[in-house]
């Protein structure tokens, strides 16, 4: 297995970070463009495993896409969602967005058959809420090769009829986002209603805002019920759609100057409109970091005034992809913190709550784990002792965010002599959303 030993920063971080495009926006824009009746160029798109999976799947479904990785753009010809072919195999890898959004889109096609599978981790991730509602609607007839409700499966599709789609999206907001995006193309008036709560709320707002940007909105919304008139398509009466840089990826560089000192300019992060994860700036503000918008950029640096008391508890339910960033740097805090609202992340790339607890314990930290929370009691002396003789190898569990967040922690000059103390196992897993992460990180090291 490949390993990367992190060299600590012996001087404060400085420089400008150009972040890749947002994964969530790129994969939504690809679906919405395919569902629209026009051609469109996506600018500032992300090129990574998760978006390559979406691009390949749409190509397999007969859509014309011309990706230009060097120019970060993708030209796509929409066909009102019309899928060519009736017997197609798709592998969604470990891309949650592709898994949920594509499955819902396939259900629109009458009289076809699709075989879907994903990575080993994806075979354990929640799909049941989505498959159940599509089955009850008569849109699909699923057949499972393994455990019912999970990949791999085959779906015979009948087309999405109108009516009421009651959905359980408690395990993943992507299930609700998927249904919302396809509901306007159902055969008749459609109501999407949530049977309970959902997690990661800002991603639902992202979906609804992007649907509106592509020309289609619910006719009305009331108490978690979204009404659509039916028989619509998306219209994107513009030649280009510009994708925001990825706010979750930015969380690592909001944390870096806290770990190393210094100041960073995050390009085009100054006016993020669609991504709730920009709220991580508030977490870092509580830790004593300042973020100022300058032109379109965000400049992050330690506050000049001393930080007040850090809150004892942070609720990450709305921005859970960023909880790993805070958890990884928590050994450098002065007081214990509790991170709550993260039970659903146990069913993501890996069991993230358990993975973070396990790796922090390897670093000598005291960690208490509940179903929905982590309490980390920082211990700097134990951190130094655990890493005194050789770097500790952090296991990453095929989870890009475990790799990237501990990569940031390893930048602290912990032993004062520039000696490396953290090794990241399988650093290549960051290719899911940020293939060049460790190169970008290295470029911020003053020479
Ligand atoms: O809709 C989206 O683009 C996402 C929603 C969230 O998933 P869950 O709703 O499963 O938490 C988030 O964790 C994921 O990275 C992206
Ligand atoms: C949870 C994540 O991804 P996915 O889109 O596969 O759910 C993530 O990127 O942190």
Asked whether this complex has an ipTM greater than 0.95, the answer is yes
Omega within 30 of 0 (cis) for the link into 152: yes
CB 92 within 8 A of CB 98: yes
Substitution candidate for ligand 1 out of 104, 128, 203, 277 with most atoms within 8 A of CB: 203
Ligand number nearest to the C-alpha of 175: 1
CB 185 within 8 A of CB 213: no
Number of domains in the chain: 2
CA dihedral 395, 399, 403, 409 (to 10 degrees): -90
Which tokens sit at 117? 């599978």
Q: How far apart are CA 189 and CA 130, in angstroms?
A: 19
What is the extent of the structural domain holding 354?
Answer: 3-20+244-442
CB 182 within 8 A of CB 107: yes
- CATH number of the CATH domain containing 413: 3.65.10.10
Q: How far apart are CA 63 and CA 76, in angstroms?
A: 7
Residues of the chain with pLDDT under 50: none
Q: How far apart are CA 301 and CA 103, in angstroms?
A: 43
Residue-level pLDDT at 392: 98
Three-state SS at 216: coil
The set of long-range contacts for 131-137, using a CB threshold of 8 Å and a minimum separation of 24, is 131/103, 131/155, 132/168, 133/165, 133/166, 133/167, 133/168, 133/179, 134/103, 134/104, 134/107, 134/160, 136/166, 137/107, 137/161, 137/163, 137/165
Q: How far apart are CA 357 and CA 353, in angstroms?
A: 6
198 and 334 co-located in one domain:
no
Is 348 annotated as a binding-site member?
Answer: yes
User: DSSP labels for 138-158?
Assistant: TSEEEEESSSTTSSSEEEEE-
CA dihedral 425, 426, 432, 436 (to 10 degrees): 90
Substitution candidate for ligand 1 out of 22, 23, 24 with most atoms within 8 A of CB: 24
- Distance from Cα 152 to the centre of ligand 1, integer Å: 21
Is 213 annotated as a binding-site member?
Answer: no
Question: φ and ψ at 398, to 5 degrees?
Answer: 55, 25
Active site residue 309: no
Residue 416 covered by a domain: yes
Is 172 annotated as a binding-site member?
Answer: yes
Residue-level pLDDT at 52: 98
Write the residue with the smallest CA distance to atom 5 of ligand 2.
96
Ligand number nearest to the C-alpha of 316: 1
Residue-level pLDDT at 306: 67
Strands 240-242 vs 39-43: parallel, antiparallel or unpaired: parallel
- For residue 62, what are the β-bridge partners? none
Residue 134 covered by a domain: yes
89 and 113 co-located in one domain:
yes
43 and 153 co-located in one domain:
yes
Read off the pTM: 0.98
Residue at token pair 């790796």: 359
Substitution candidate for ligand 1 out of 96, 180, 277, 399 with most atoms within 8 A of CB: 96
- Number of the ligand 1 atom closest to the C-alpha atom of 177: 1
Residue-level pLDDT at 307: 67
Residue 239 covered by a domain: no
- Distance from Cα 95 to the centre of ligand 1, integer Å: 10
Q: How far apart are CA 344 and CA 317, in angstroms?
A: 9
14 and 36 co-located in one domain:
no
Write the residue with the smallest CA distance to atom 10 of ligand 2.
321
- Distance from Cα 363 to the centre of ligand 1, integer Å: 29
282 and 175 co-located in one domain:
no
273 and 186 co-located in one domain:
no
Domain stops at, among 227, 253, 274? 227
Q: How far apart are CA 255 and CA 135, in angstroms?
A: 44
pLDDT in tens, 383-395: 999 999 999 999 9
Residue-level pLDDT at 80: 92
């Amino acid at each position: 297995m490949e390993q990367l030993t992190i060299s600590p920063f012996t001087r404060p971080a400085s420089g400008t970070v150009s972040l890749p495009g947002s994964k969530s926006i790129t994969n939504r824009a690809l679906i919405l463009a395919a569902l629209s009746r026009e051609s469109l160029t996506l600018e500032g798109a992300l090129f990574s495993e998760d978006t390559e999976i979406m691009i390949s799947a749409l190509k397999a479904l007969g859509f014309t896409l011309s990706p230009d990785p060097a120019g970060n753009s993708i030209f796509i010809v929409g066909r009102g969602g019309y899928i060519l072919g009736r017997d197609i195999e798709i592998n969604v890898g470990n891309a949650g967005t592709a898994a949920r959004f594509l499955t819902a889109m396939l259900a629109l096609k009458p009289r076809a058959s699709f075989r879907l599978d994903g990575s080993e981790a994806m075979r354990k991730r929640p799909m049941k809420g989505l498959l159940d509602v599509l089955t009850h609607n008569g849109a699909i007839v699923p057949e499972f090769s393994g455990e019912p409700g999970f990949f791999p499966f085959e779906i015979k599709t009948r087309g999405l009829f109108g009516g009421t789609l009651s959905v359980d999206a408690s395990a993943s907001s992507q299930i609700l986002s998927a249904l919302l995006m396809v509901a306007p193309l159902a055969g008749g008036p459609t109501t999407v209603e949530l049977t309970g709560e959902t997690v990661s709320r800002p991603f639902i707002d992202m979906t609804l805002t992007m649907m509106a940007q592509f020309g289609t909105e619910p006719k009305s919304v009331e108490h978690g019920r979204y009404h659509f008139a039916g028989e619509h398509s998306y219209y994107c009466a513009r030649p280009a759609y510009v994708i925001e840089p990825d706010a979750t990826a930015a969380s690592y560089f909001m944390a870096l100057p806290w770990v190393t000192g210094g100041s960073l300019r995050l390009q085009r992060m100054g006016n993020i409109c669609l991504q709730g994860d920009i709220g991580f700036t508030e977490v870092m503000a509580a830790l004593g970091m300042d973020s100022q918008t300058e032109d379109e950029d965000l400049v992050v640096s330690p506050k000049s005034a001393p930080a007040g008391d850090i809150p004892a508890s942070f609720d990450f339910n709305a921005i859970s992809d960023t909880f790993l960033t805070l958890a990884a740097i928590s050994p450098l805090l002065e007081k214990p913190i509790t991170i709550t609202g993260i039970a659903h992340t146990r069913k993501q790339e890996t069991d993230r709550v358990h993975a973070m607890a396990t790796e922090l314990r390897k670093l000598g930290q005291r960690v208490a784990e509940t179903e929905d929370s982590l309490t980390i009691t920082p211990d700097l002396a134990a951190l130094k002792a655990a890493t005194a003789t050789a770097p500790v190898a952090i296991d990453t569990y095929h989870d890009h965010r475990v790799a990237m967040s501990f990569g940031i922690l390893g930048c602290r000059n912990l032993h004062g002599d520039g000696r490396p103390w953290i090794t990241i196992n399988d650093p290549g897993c960051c290719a899911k959303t940020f293939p060049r992460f460790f190169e970008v990180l290295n470029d911020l090291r003053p020479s």
